[in-house]
Amino acid sequence: MATGEEELYVRYYVGHIGKFGHEFLEFEFRPDGKLRYANSSNYKNDTLIRKEVYVSPSLIQELKRIVTDSEILKEDDKLWPVPDRVGRQELEIVMGKEHISFTTAKIGSLVDVQESKDPEGLRVFYYLIQDLKCLVFSLISLHFKIKPI
């Protein structure tokens, strides 16, 4: 981008393989502003939602603020619960020269966070994910008039 500021890439995945096959939610913001969103749930009826739209540089700036304020780049996933049969989460962020690719199990509630070996770090992840999902669901539902989940 011509702004001369740090570029940003953000990707989040949550999913599991169960009796309904591979069910997942995944979205990414690419440096050119392209937001891609996919949600596959095979429960009851087959649905696979795949949507993309370009967001403005202002939106990317706000996303960057949310990521930066969370201080997620200072964390490390090495003590977080590893992905298991119940599920898997992935958070990948590239901001400037820094690139994180974190994985962990699904987190049911704050109790899981408290009981982990790195409650402070996992809490940062836990809330950032919720804030990111909240933003993405708003964008997708406003733009396409669908309920993302």
Partner 1 sequence: MAATDNYEMAVDLDPGADEMVVDDVPRDDTDRLKSNATKRKGRGFSERRAGGVDNDEFTSGRFESLEDTATGQAQRSVEGWIVLITGVHEEANEEDVSEKCAEYGEIKNLHLNLDRRTGYVKGYALVEYETFKEAKAAIDGLNGSTLLDQVIKADFAFVRGASASTSVQERDTRRHRRGGDRRDERRR
**108 interacts with partner 1 by CB under 8 A:** no
97: number of CA atoms within 13 Å, CB side? 0
Are 134 and 142 a contacting pair, CB within 8 Å?
no
Question: Closest Cα to residue 23, out of 84, 81, 88, 82?
Answer: 88
The single residue among 47, 68, 114, 130 that binds partner 1, judged by CB under 8 A, is 130
Q: What is the closest distance, in whole angstroms, from the C-beta atom of residue 7 to partner 1 in the complex? A: 5
Q: Which residue has the tokens 């690719």?
A: 101
**46 interacts with partner 1 by CB under 8 A:** no
**66 interacts with partner 1 by CB under 8 A:** yes
In sequence order, which residues have a C-beta less than 8 Å from that of residue 41 and are 6 or more positions away? 20, 23, 47
Binding residues for partner 1 (CB under 8 A)? 7, 9, 13, 15, 17, 22, 24, 26, 30-34, 36-38, 40, 50-59, 61-62, 65-66, 76-78, 82-83, 85, 88, 90, 92, 94, 96-103, 123, 127, 130-131, 134-135, 138-139, 142-145
